[in-house]
């Protein structure tokens, strides 16, 4: 792969890789460092990149693994405090209710096991397909569906409990 091809195929992934790294690390500068490391690793593998089905999934997998290694070395526990939701354009009361719901949802997601948090982030926030999430997480697509289903069920149960709709 030549420099121009690399720039055209890899550089556009920068923002997505940064968002994911920043979500995992909760530190802007560390996330930037991880993205630079990922680009360096991809550059070193540039002659073999055409062997992969999805360059984006490969880059996300390298990002995930680099972040996990960094977290392990720093012994930092993760949370999902940086989840981004779009607030509707509405009245101040509706915005207040939306922000309250957003905070409750963050709190609920924060309580999920790490694998469920990561699958929710990749699928629901970043918009990856099941096969891509499976590749990034290094699990089977069926296992990814199970993890996603359990995460959604856990979120639903916690929200029902919070709002007093539990059985």
Q: Is the pLDDT of residue 19 over 50?
A: yes
69-111: per-residue pLDDT in tens? 887 666 433 344 444 444 455 677 776 777 788 788 888 888 8
pTM over cut 0.85:
no
Which residue segment(s) compose the domain that 144 sits in? 92-162
CB 157 within 8 A of CB 112: no
| Residue 152 and residue 99 share a domain | yes
CA distance 14 to 134: 21
In a domain, 85, yes or no: no
The DSSP code for 123 is I
Across residues 129-154, what is the average pLDDT? 90
pLDDT band at 67 (very low <50, low <70, confident <90, very high): confident
In a domain, 167, yes or no: no
In a domain, 153, yes or no: yes
Across residues 33-41, what is the average pLDDT? 92
In a domain, 98, yes or no: yes
**Number of folded domains that form the chain:** 2
Dihedral (Cα; 130, 31, 24, 19), 10-degree rounding: -50
In a domain, 131, yes or no: yes
| Residue 54 and residue 26 share a domain | yes
Chosen domain end from 74, 106, 132 = 74
């Amino acid at each position: 792969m030549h420099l121009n091809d690399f720039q055209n195929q890899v550089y556009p992934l920068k923002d997505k890789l940064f968002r994911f790294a920043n979500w995992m690390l909760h530190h802007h500068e560390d996330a930037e460092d991880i993205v630079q490391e990922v680009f360096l690793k991809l550059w070193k593998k540039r002659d073999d990149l055409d062997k992969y089905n999805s360059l984006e999934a490969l880059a996300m997998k390298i990002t995930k693994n680099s972040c996990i290694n960094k977290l392990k070395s720093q012994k930092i526990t993760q949370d999902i405090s940086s989840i981004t939701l779009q607030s509707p354009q509405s009245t101040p009361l509706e915005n207040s209710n939306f922000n309250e719901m957003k905070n409750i949802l963050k709190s609920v997601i924060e309580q999920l096991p790490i694998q469920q948090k990561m699958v929710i982030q990749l699928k629901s926030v970043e918009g990856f397909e099941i096969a891509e999430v499976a590749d990034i997480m290094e699990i089977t697509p069926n296992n990814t569906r199970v993890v996603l289903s359990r995460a959604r069920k856990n979120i639903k149960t916690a929200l029902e409990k919070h709002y007093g709709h539990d059985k």
